[in-house]
Structure 1
């Protein structure tokens, strides 16, 4: 399945003249830790499938859908027999839309859509993924447009349902809907300024809420705490910088808003399961060592 792997970086070989790659996969083959800029949507069709992330393992049953966010380091353990859809669309051109970028941020590193946790949308997304497979295989005129339109509909369904299913809160969902535009702006600001010294008090003032109320609403909207969200964005930026030749770990830490190398290394290992140096070494193949 992985056609081009340098260290732990996978170059997705998209279908000719498209930004799409889909496997109707039946291979009995394990795949090592790797990452790629594209999202990856995996659904077992026959038998299960195991996805391994830096700190967790996810056992997918038939019909469960795992969405791996861009830049997430993961590996795959295949059963002796089975079949699964593995869909890798290039979403770079979609991320100018702030809703898409923020959805990837709050889902990161992955999201699993099951019929138990997402009863309102699971069957629809499953049907969309099957339709995408058929459209991809048949290669009809305007198939790429059709597939991307279904992908966008899928992201809309997930985005409008994700927070409700992943945040344990006493707040009425109506409150979240009322303040959603404001928190979209807050997330936009954090994404753009994550390398700066962002303080909870200052961002709460920007929102117009008290610090306590802002913390509660921010977690309701994003599914994570303010500082954890900031660190996720910093580590995502660090991951992109670490693969550049000639860039030191110290430079990356400072350019991503960390005040000490030790805190950067600790946070990187928590999120990625390896140190920045190990990540950099795994990325570069013997012929591409920096």
Structure 2
């Protein structure tokens, strides 16, 4: 049975003087619901995981890659012991890039790349980005044990990255994310005719998503956006759902909720203030929609933020080479 943790947040400890961490979980542990502003990637090497992200369940098999978007509540179950690679990276400094924000919206709450169904050349390319990151991160630097009393279960820190190493790592991560966003249909189950129609209109739909991202706090309607895109209401509704995986109103509401999540990391803002800043017409409507989306009311979601309520260091994480 996997080891349970009574606390509700994992403490993300980045590599010295960076906003990035790569580590290996070799032991058998479950993690309760939590969220952080970092992206998180999980790559099982010897045993699968079950991960629940925003009420969606992902069975992550050996060799699969699961990318969890920022500010998504997730819960991790370890049915069997075995090595799993983790990556955590703070993207708050580049989330202001429109394309980065758009990519996370397309992938939200998580992107599951299945080794069994992903085209081999695509999988090799994406896995190659991760392997290069691992080489840059671990390198040949000697390990510095934080606690000499611990052995196999010790948390090990490393010296700083080589000059511009963090920049190289983020470049590889952005290549990974950009490729997945541009080819999002490869990782979704959809019929071929729908995918073909969506591809023909991808530029228009991408521009519309950008427009929505700039005006989501305003009173937007399906009719208004369809007219702005130059399509009929019913045709737009169909191709937009194929492109984003959700209806226009679901997409608009999710964008508002995602913005509210980032605002909830600021303890000086009240839930009422956040509801109006995110574009909701009332705090009641915001709370109802937020709970339906995340499973938690905004006030409780705020308590699961690791920056404000960090867990104790997890002794079952070890930063060591495979």
TM-score range, shorter chain: 0.7 to 0.9
How many angstroms does 1:118 deviate by?
Answer: 2.2
Query: In the alignment, what sits opposite 2:264?
Result: 242
* Aligned equivalent of 1:31: 31
Q: 1:150 to 1:255 in 2, by over 3 A?
A: closer
Contact 1:31 1:75 in 2 (8 A): yes
Q: Map of 1:190-229 to 2, 5 A cutoff?
A: 190-229=212-251
Q: Quote how far apart the aligned CAs of 1:173 are.
A: 4.5
Say if 2:275 is the partner of 1:253.
yes
SS at match of 1:111: strand
Select between 90-99 and 103-112 the one with higher mean Cα deviation: 90-99
Contact kept in structure 2, 1:63 and 1:126, CA below 8 Å: no
Matches within 5 A, 1:54-133: 54-79=54-79, 81-120=81-120, 121-133=122-134
Give, in angstroms, the shift of residue 251 of structure 1: 2.6
Aligned length: 280
Deviates most, 225-234 or 254-263 = 254-263
More moved, 128-137 vs 41-50:
128-137
- Matches of 1:281 and 1:157 in 2, distance apart? 34
Question: Which residue does the alignment assign to 2:319?
Answer: none
Q: Secondary structure at the match of 1:197?
A: coil
- Distance in 1 (alpha carbons) for counterparts of 2:221 and 2:291: 23
Question: Given that residues 42 and 67 in structure 2 are in contact (C-alpha distance below 8 angstroms), is that contact kept between their aligned partners in structure 1?
Answer: yes
Distance in 1 of aligned mates of 2:187 and 2:59: 19
Taking the TM superposition and a 5 Å limit, the aligned residue runs for 1:167-182 are 168-169=190-191, 171=193, 173=195, 175-182=197-204
Question: Which of structures 1 and 2 has the larger relative contact order (alpha carbons within 8 angstroms, sep 6+)?
Answer: 2
Separation of aligned partners in 1, 2:27 and 2:52: 17
* Partner SS state of residue 276, structure 2: helix
Summarize deviations over 1:158-192 as a string: whole Å, max 9, x none: 12321244263564655434432322221122112
Bigger drift between 131-140 and 164-173 goes to: 164-173
Deviation of the 1:16 alpha carbon: 1.9
Does the alignment pair 1:161 with 2:161?
A: no
Offset of residue 92 of structure 1: 2.8
Query: Per-residue deviation at 1:196?
Result: 1.5
So what's the TM-score if we normalise by structure 1?
0.85
Which deviates further from its counterpart, 99-108 or 47-56?
Answer: 47-56
Structure-2 residue corresponding to 1:276: 298
Greater helix share, 1 or 2? 1
Structure 2 partner of 1:183: 205
2:151 alignment counterpart: none
Distance 1:180 1:8, change over 3 A: farther
Quote how far apart the aligned CAs of 1:109 are: 0.6
8 Å Cα contact 1:167-1:223 kept in structure 2: no
Distance in 2 between the 1:285 and 1:164 partners?
A: 37
State TM-score, norm by structure 2: 0.78
Structure with higher Rg: it is 2
Q: Which residue of 1 aligns with 2:254?
A: 232
